[in-house]
Amino acid sequence: MTSIQTRRSKEAYTGLQKKDNMYLPNNKGSEFCVTYKTKYNDLALEHLNDKSTNAKVARMSAKTTEKKVNAVWKQICDTKSIPTHVQKSFIFTNTDLPEFYHLIKTHKLQQGMKIRPIVSNVRGPTQDLMATVEGPQTTS
């Protein structure tokens, strides 16, 4: 690659970064998508507003969710006589609410833009508990 090509590539990349675009993998991970941020957000809202798929829940904070999960966990521990040291190891503090994002299904573009919704529960109130129940997760 010549220095002119390198400079032009950098300029093109910089220009793309300044645009109101989103760059993300598709839902299969073999391709990537470029779409406008507004279109990305509109697809998410369209999915979330679909009453046949989703139901609106009352707004609650991470702290409220944390308290509810901890109360249910304590109840389970009391019912099942789980040792106190195990119970304490799964009491949650400083958690985050699950995060919603989505990937675009590029193989279904002829049917209109479809998405694959994802809810990430990293640092969520049930993350450690589910890891214990489900066991270690592996990726293939």
pLDDT band at 136 (very low <50, low <70, confident <90, very high): low
Question: For 40-96, how does the pLDDT look when each residue is reduced to its tens digit (9 = 90+)?
Answer: 899 999 988 998 988 887 887 888 888 988 999 899 999 999 899 988 888 888 888
Q: Which tokens hold the place of 129?
A: 């508990």
pTM of the full predicted structure? 0.60
- Per-residue pLDDT at 5: 64
d(CA 19, CA 55): 34
Contact 24, 32 (CB under 8 A): yes
H or E, element range at 132: helix 127-134
- Tokens 């109130």 locate to 125
- The full set of domain ranges for the chain reads 20-132
- Per-residue pLDDT at 131: 67
Question: For 105-126, how does the pLDDT look when each residue is reduced to its tens digit (9 = 90+)?
Answer: 877 777 788 888 998 888 877 7
